[in-house]
Structure 1
């Protein structure tokens, strides 16, 4: 007699941090078994040792999901859903998490069945779940190993890896002093009786997320989904559901994330910066710029920019070189984007003076430039060293600008701004920025910039300056791919209708896919993974730049070498000074942040209007000085400006485009 199919309640993974490719020290690798590990060819002795992808309808895949689904419902749904704990199945693993089976046999005819959690007729046949963002070496060996991470993904609104107690996020599990809770769950073997085990829960770092232990449930065992597939039932919505008992309350799929509306630009300059293919660099930013008179690259401040009025669409920048207090060069006009590079695109070389090399802790304002120029500290090039040290000093500052509103608080106030100078860069609301959260490969689109100013308590005897904390809020996006075997019939990514992805990100992704699809049969897209997230300013690595505008040749080379489409590295704010994660020090205005590295009277001119023919060099100049004769080319390799490594790029830094 044919047995009826067992019905299961579907439960869905709300979000994912999984990645199908990862960047490890400048090299893009598959986040799973290597190509050699996937090779099933036996060796000369007839032995096989390979990995195979386990498909969703495979009994082993379903067994993992049944166990995870039951534990997740028990942990989140509680006792009120206890009758469904044994009939719940995870609809699918979180996106980009894939289950592989390691198959290892002896010579032909010598294979034997062994008892392990995966079963099978080979000497070794274990299953591993890949996708964890730190790379293929971080894989989960069982549903119990992965469950704490799945629970964290489903419950932690802050996306803080410190809150996850899985073995990957918390390799050192801390014991708690209070008595352990005794909560259990039954996990059946395929085609066998229930196994009853119990034990205390191992707790990790606060906030605590517990791993359910196991216990027996009375009554006849429920048929495992590994025996027969779950029966699909018609669903009124695009989110599929498995068949359910009559008159049962449906466990619904999680609501689709709704992206936050993009802030509207408040002026022409902000509008220009929000468009694709406009100015690479912005006023008030520190940049590397090429100096034709000396055939050298220098460091300077963009004090003005404009569009050339000859209908050519050309752009021009006025750059004030950085220097020491006793010699300031004239501003220079740069008329090509290829002659400008963001400060974070390259790593600064060492100083030329041995004294400064031996005292790297010295800041620009702590150097006795007179002594240095007199030769008492040895030989070197003061202009070069001053520009490097001035740029490093700016890297640790911030200045918010264009206050929008002030919200009073009991102990201070929240000040909301439209933009902020952070380190060497200028950021607006609506800008995508690179963040340190997780593995540092995701982007946040800024919707608000907040400075919380807290006044000192009135009863304090010693007056102190008000303290401040700065953060941004916005949506977080992750680079994702999907198979696209037929270029004439491209799949539609879920973000296709998301108008809140900045146009710069959308246009750049379209440019990437123009090369990715025909060469790698994959389609890339920006996946929304979190909305209205609050990120501390210290966790912002820097502005995001279009690969199509800044790293075109490097991207083409990576795709042709089958290294993926998201593998161009760039420095982060705080790397040049080895400070790392830090908000930095506030400065009252942008020019004041540079101190004596700029000539007196330097001004930043906002807007996009071209200067008059006679007034171009009257802007941003203090006292004039002879043209600087130094050449950074003597200390930097600039032969391959568009190479993947750029100039002196430090591939240890953790960001990829």
Structure 2
């Protein structure tokens, strides 16, 4: 009786069905004809049968794969243990091809009852189905599948081009444990394995048709024996925004609605901080160039809303300027009330903020180049970007546009911009697509709940919170994020906006509904209450130089967006913390530089590309 420590692969690209060239769906397994076990006229059977998890060959494959993984990744401290892959990655199924004569098999069975009847089989080979390229691309042995399994468990990029298996890379290594030559040329990135002593499972010396290894249903969660995939991290701000213990909903440079006592208005987060362990924000209101406003300090997140939480109202100067770009409006004439209608209330500051917000919503800029990334000609990889109103990072989820009612997100692994000599720009988001799933719970106790190592920590914590709410109310429901598409590539048009935690944002934007749902043990996604970027916005997509270029004349000319933990601490101090800092005063139009140029006082925030990878000043690559 030998103890086997189980390993689990938390990521998969396995597919139960695939699309054919004509667009039809095809089941990713042997055909119905191949599964037909009816003997022919001579009593011969030639068929495929699915192997169950407790069958000898299934166990043998998983023991060999576990051993190869730990031989390569485990280190000396694990050399005295036996390991087994607990199960194949989701979507992968082991099938056996058998050929035999019925009469001969029956005779041998009577002669040597209980003995393995392999001798009567002309053929008895196992094949692992599930590769995204379809049923003709199957793995013939554990050694065949091992490079693909290793890629699933270790590759930071999630890029199939990094896989050295014979299917993904037909010219890959023959020896799956030899990482040299062509495999190294693919630059496979391995994280150090994080291995814990999982409870061993006893697997006896097996005999045919015996019940050998029957996991509980559902399988109990295991400590993180598999190598974890960690997105690249850059700045301290990125780490802070990724932390589940972070205090802030909003980020410096983001466009938000803020409560102006009598109404709600639009502004930009200049900086954020904590007071009495509660978040506070310094907000710069948007306006037209002639009526710029002073900062406002907000000590309560209930006084703020994401830009995408509400729809944009119409301008107050009739509908004359509703679809006119901000910089094409004759603001000097507007503020002189030349376009006001008698008897109609007009607010030229509000009009300026509305039109500026539409431009911001349709704009994007990237910051913090990833200099370590492998790039193709004309490409630049970045760690973050301002996408419309919001600031997003590599390693976090964004909401996707889909044609169904499903809630789908992309966890960003790469932000790639490709530019042309003519100044064109295309941005590609590379990452894993997940779908939110609600179903009857398969677990009896919270102690059985699995971990979610492939999800960002904030996303995993929010998921656990939602399941705790359902469990405490005895709803019998279970929520999970299910991988739909690994290493997907999405464009700007596919992205709706930032992902927000249910437990953080929904109580603010819909408190009564949230409380009523809690009492019923339900929680709704924040996405249900959010718009998408550029919804009902006719302003064309625009690549901006940086955030200052995007905000342009809607803010005072010496306005700065804080770099937070990545900038000088003095720049993050609030006006009430350093009395010498005075609120920004209205800037006369004649004192403002021409559009596209900036004064020396803020130049350090404009062109940081060469100094520190363009955190807020990345320029388009020419």
Range of TM-score over shorter length: 0.5 to 0.7
1:151 pairs with one of 3, 12, 18? 18
Native 8 Å contact 1:441 1:478 kept in 2: yes
- Under a length normalisation based on structure 2, what TM-score does the superposition of the two structures give? 0.57
Equivalent residue number for residue 27 of structure 1: none
1:355 is paired with a residue whose SS is: coil
2:334 is paired with a residue whose SS is: helix
Structure 1 alignment gaps of length 5 or more:
1-12, 17-93, 95-149, 157-162, 168-184, 194-216, 456-464, 626-657
Structure 2 alignment gaps of length 5 or more:
1-11, 63-86, 99-117, 131-147, 157-228, 566-571, 589-622
Q: CA deviation at 1:523?
A: 1.8
1:298 is paired with a residue whose SS is: strand
Structure 1 residues 406 and 467, CA, compared in 2 at 3 Å: closer, same or farther? farther
Alpha-carbon displacement from aligned partner over 1:243-294 (angstroms, at most 9, x marks no partner):
6525422121547754743334323222211112421000010001112xx3
Equivalent residue number for residue 146 of structure 1: none
Equivalent residue number for residue 600 of structure 2: none
2:319 is aligned with 1:355:
yes
Q: CA deviation at 1:569?
A: 3.4
Alpha-carbon displacement from aligned partner over 1:34-67 (angstroms, at most 9, x marks no partner):
xxxxxxxxxxxxxxxxxxxxxxxxxxxxxxxxxx
Q: CA deviation at 1:366?
A: 2.0
2:435 is aligned with 1:568:
no
Within a 5 Å distance, the mapping from 1:60-459 to structure 2 comes to 150-152=17-19, 164-165=23-24, 233-234=55-56, 235-236=58-59, 237=62, 238-239=87-88, 241=94, 245=98, 246=118, 247-254=123-130, 257-258=152-153, 260=156, 261-276=229-244, 277-291=246-260, 294-308=261-275, 312-356=276-320, 360-377=322-339, 378=341, 379=344, 380-405=346-371, 413-436=378-401, 439=404, 441-455=407-421
Alpha-carbon displacement from aligned partner over 1:343-375 (angstroms, at most 9, x marks no partner):
01111222222133xx53212122222333333
Equivalent residue number for residue 200 of structure 2: none
Hey, what's the Cα distance between the residues in 2 that align with 1:249 and 1:372?
80
Hey, what's the Cα distance between the residues in 2 that align with 1:497 and 1:382?
50
Hey, what's the Cα distance between the residues in 1 that align with 2:278 and 2:53?
63
Native 8 Å contact 1:231 1:242 kept in 2: no
Structure 1 residues 219 and 474, CA, compared in 2 at 3 Å: closer, same or farther? farther
Native 8 Å contact 1:397 1:586 kept in 2: yes
Give the number of the structure whose residues are more often helix, by fraction. 2
1:250 is paired with a residue whose SS is: strand
Native 8 Å contact 1:320 1:620 kept in 2: no
Alpha-carbon displacement from aligned partner over 1:290-320 (angstroms, at most 9, x marks no partner):
12xx332110011111122xxx311211100
Let me know the Cα RMSD of the aligned residues.
4.1
Q: CA deviation at 1:376?
A: 3.2
Aligned length: 410
Q: CA deviation at 1:541?
A: 1.3
Equivalent residue number for residue 52 of structure 1: none
Hey, what's the Cα distance between the residues in 1 that align with 2:506 and 2:318?
34
1:365 is paired with a residue whose SS is: helix
Hey, what's the Cα distance between the residues in 2 that align with 1:281 and 1:398?
17
Structure 1 residues 218 and 374, CA, compared in 2 at 3 Å: closer, same or farther? farther
Alpha-carbon displacement from aligned partner over 1:396-441 (angstroms, at most 9, x marks no partner):
111111223298989x521111111110111111121112256473
Structure 1 residues 504 and 219, CA, compared in 2 at 3 Å: closer, same or farther? farther
Structure 1 residues 266 and 223, CA, compared in 2 at 3 Å: closer, same or farther? closer
